[in-house]
Structure 1
Amino acid sequence: MKQGGVMGETRQSEACRAEPDADEADLALYAWVLEHQRVDVPAAAGALGLSPERTEAALARLRAAGLIQPAAGDPSGERAVAPEAAAGPRIAALEARIREQQLQVARIRADAERFASAYRSGAGGAGGLEVIPTLPEVRTLLTRMSGHCREEVLASQPGGGSRVPEAMEEALLRDRALLERGVRLRTLYHHTARFHGPSQAYVAAASALGGEYRTSHELFGRIIVFDRETAFLPTADGSWGAVVLREPNTVAYLCRLFDQTWEAATPFSNAADDGLAKVSGELDRTILQLLAAGLKDEAVARRLGMALRTTRRHIADIMDQLSAESRFQAGVAAARQGLLEDAAAPTAPPCGAKP
C-alpha cells in the first residue's frame, strides 16, 4: 500500500510537470473555445490535458483580457473574441489616461512658467543673480536650459579626472540633444583629464557628435554659459548648489574670460598620444611657476585640478630632479635653467614625474 501510494504520487507529479505553463494554457484554451464556440471547462480540460483548476484559472485570465466574452443573444453562453476587438477598449482607456497625464504635465509647466519670472526677480533682485541651493534643482534647471538653448554652450570643468562616470553619462545625453540641434558646444578641462579614462571616453563620444574640447594646466573655475545670456557658477561654500547669473555685463565678462582661455588652450587628446614625457614636463613647469609665485600645495592642487597627494608627489619628484633641498632652491635652479619663462614651452622636461 505504501509503495502504491508513492507510485501514485509520482505519477501525479509527472502529470503536473507535463501540463503547459500559464501562457501556453491560456493560448490552448482560447483556441479550444474558438474551435468549439462554447466554454466547457470539463471538456476543455480533458481535451487539453489540464487539471480543472488550471483550466478555470486560464479561463479567468482570458475573461480579464476580454478574449472570452458573453455571447450575443445568449447571456448564459460565452465565446472567443478577436484579439484586436478585445485589446481595443483596453488600449483606448490607457490612451485616455495618457492624454490626461499629458494635460496635467502641461498645466504644471504653465503654472511654473507663470511664476518663474517673479521668482527670478525676487531671488536675484536687480543684480540678475539667483542661488540654487540643491543638486536636484541645479540638474533640473540645467536640463531645462539645455532644452531651450539656441546657439552656444560654453563650459569650464576643472578637476581633471574628478568627474564621476554617472555625471558624465547624464551630461552626454544633454550634449547629444544640443549638438543634434546644431548648438555649438565648447568645453575646457584641466590637462590632467587626459589621463582619466572616463573623460577620454566622454570626449571621444561627444567629439564625434561635433563637440569641441580643449585642455589647460590652469582654469579660472567651473562655469556653464548658455547662449551668452545665462551663466551657472559654483557657490562659495563648495556645496552642490549653483549661482545663476543673468546680468548681461557680468555674463559678457565671463564669456570673454572663457574665450581668452580657450584660445590659449590645447585641443583635447589623451596623454599617451601626446607623449607622457612631454605632458609631464609641461605639468612640472607649471607647478614650478605656481610654487615660485608663493602658492601652497593645496592652492597648486586646486589650480591644476589634481589631488593634493598627487601634487605633493610631483613636487617631491621635481625637487629631487633639481637636486634641491628646499622650494627656494628649486625655484633658483629652475630659473637658471629657464624653466620659469613659459609653462607651456616645448623644451625637453628635466623632471621625470608622471601624473
Structure 2
Amino acid sequence: MEKDFGLTTREAAAYRDIAEGRPVHPDLVARLTDLGLLGHVGSELVPLDPRVAAQRLLAAHRATLEQALREVSYLPALEALSQHYAPSQFYGGPASKLLQSKEAMNAEIGMALDETTRELLTAQPGQPEDRDPEVQREGIERARRLLERGVAVRSIYTAAALEHEPTVEYVDLILEGGAEVRVAHDLPPRMVLTGSTLFIDNVVVADEDPNAGWCVTDIAAVSFARTVYEAYWARAVPWETARAALRDAVTSTRQRYILRGLAKGGTQATIAAQLEVSEREVRRDLEDLRARLALPSTNALLYWWATAPDHGIP
C-alpha cells in the first residue's frame, strides 16, 4: 500500500509537542514513527531530524520517480505519431473551433499557412472590395512565399473581380509567380483550405462578430470541402481566358448575372434582392442592353442570350 506523506495539523502539532517534551496520543506516535520522524533512545521517545527522514523517503522512491520522468519524456514523441495515425481514421481529432474576430481568424490562417507544405485553396464569392495598399502588398508577398516553398496556390473569384482593378493587379502578380486563378458566376461559400485545415464563415453561432469564422480539422469535413472545391474549380474559367473574352463582351458583369437569373426562371425582383440593388436598376440594365442590341423585348433578349458568345463569360 502506498504511503501518504502529507501531515495533518494534529500530526504536525504532535511532532512539535514531542520535540518540546510534552506527551502525545499513541496513535499519532505510530504515524510519525512510520514516517521516520520519531525514534526511541532506550525507553525515551525522541524527535528525529525531518530532513534526514525526507531524504530517506526520497531515496526509497527515487527509482520510481526516475522511471516516471523517463516515461513522461516519451510523450511528445508518441503524440507526434498522430500525423501517421490521423489520415487512416474516420475521426481525426477535435473537429472545429470558433474564431470570434477577424484578428483571430487571420492569426489562425497565418499559422496554418506557415505549416502547410501542400496547398492553399480559396473561394471568394463576395463582391471585391478595395483593400488598403499595404494589406494588398502583404497578400502578394504571402502568396509569393508560399509559391517559392512549392505550395500550390489556387483561387476562384466571382466575375465581378474581372473588372475590379485592385483585384486584377493582385491576380496578375500572383499568376506571374505560378498561382492558378479561375473565375465563375456560381461559387461555393467562402472558404480557405490549407492542407488538412479548413476555414469557413460562421454559420453556427448567432450574434457573433460578422468577421468570426470556424477552423475545421475533422478529416471527413475537410475532405468533403476539398471535393466540393474541385467540382467548382472544374466548372470555372481560367482567369486569362475570362479577361480575354471580357475585351469583346457586349454585356457587363451585372447584366450577365441578371440574364442568367431570368433564364433560370427568376424574377427581376428576386434578382435585384440578390444583387442588393433596386428593381429599377435591374430594369435599366436590361433596357440598356436591349437598346445596344436593338431588341424589342426582354424575351427577345433572353433568346439572344441563349446562344450569345457572352454566355460563356463568367
Alignment TM class, shorter chain as reference = 0.5 to 0.7
Over 3 Å counting, the alpha-carbon distance change for 1:152 and 1:346 in structure 2 is closer
CA distance in 2, matches of 1:278, 1:163: 24
Displacement, 1:218?
2.0
1:171 is aligned to 2:139: yes
Between the aligned residues of both structures, percent identity stands at 22
CA contact (8 A) 1:155 1:223 kept: yes
Question: Where does 1:27-46 land on structure 2 (aligned, <5 Å)?
Answer: none
1:345 is aligned to 2:314: no
Kindly report the root-mean-square deviation, in angstroms, between the aligned alpha carbons of the 2 structures.
3.5
Question: Where does 1:1-355 land on structure 2 (aligned, <5 Å)?
Answer: 128-165=95-132, 166-227=134-195, 229-236=196-203, 239-269=210-240, 273-278=244-249, 280=251, 284-291=255-262, 292-294=264-266, 296-297=270-271, 299-301=273-275, 308-309=276-277, 313=281, 315-319=283-287, 321-322=289-290, 330=298, 332-335=299-302, 337=303, 339=305, 345-346=311-312
Over 3 Å counting, the alpha-carbon distance change for 1:218 and 1:186 in structure 2 is same
The structure showing larger relative contact order (alpha-carbon pairs under 8 Å, at least 6 residues apart) is: 2
Deviation readout 1:249-271 (Å, 9 max, x if unpaired): 22222111111111111121497
CA distance in 1, matches of 2:310, 2:224: 25
CA distance in 1, matches of 2:117, 2:220: 20
Displacement, 1:221?
1.8
Over 3 Å counting, the alpha-carbon distance change for 1:129 and 1:279 in structure 2 is farther
Tell me which amino acid in the other structure corresponds to 2:131.
Answer: V
Tell me which amino acid in the other structure corresponds to 1:193.
Answer: A
CA distance in 2, matches of 1:314, 1:265: 25
What secondary structure sits across from 1:280 in the alignment? coil
Tell me which amino acid in the other structure corresponds to 1:300.
Answer: Q
Gaps (5+ residues) in structure 2?
Answer: 1-75, 77-91, 292-296
Displacement, 1:293?
3.5
CA contact (8 A) 1:285 1:343 kept: no
The residue that corresponds to 2:69 in the other structure is none
CA contact (8 A) 1:161 1:196 kept: yes
The residue that corresponds to 1:91 in the other structure is none
The residue that corresponds to 1:120 in the other structure is none
What secondary structure sits across from 1:205 in the alignment? helix
Q: TM-score, normalised by structure 2?
A: 0.57
CA distance in 1, matches of 2:174, 2:99: 27
CA contact (8 A) 1:282 1:344 kept: no
The aligned length equals 212
Tell me which amino acid in the other structure corresponds to 1:247.
Answer: D
Displacement, 1:205?
1.4
CA distance in 1, matches of 2:248, 2:148: 38
Displacement, 1:157?
1.3
CA distance in 2, matches of 1:278, 1:128: 46
Deviation readout 1:154-188 (Å, 9 max, x if unpaired): 10112242251444333223212211100000001
Deviation readout 1:103-160 (Å, 9 max, x if unpaired): xxxxxxx9xxxxxxxxxxxxxx977121100111111111111100011111011224
CA contact (8 A) 1:232 1:245 kept: yes
Deviation readout 1:6-53 (Å, 9 max, x if unpaired): xxxxxxxxxxxxxxxxxxxxxxxxxxxxxxxxxxxxxxxxxxxxxxxx
CA distance in 1, matches of 2:187, 2:164: 17
CA distance in 2, matches of 1:127, 1:274: 46
* Worse overlay, 218-227 or 234-243: 234-243
Tell me which amino acid in the other structure corresponds to 1:159.
Answer: G
* Worse overlay, 203-212 or 184-193: 203-212
Displacement, 1:276?
4.1
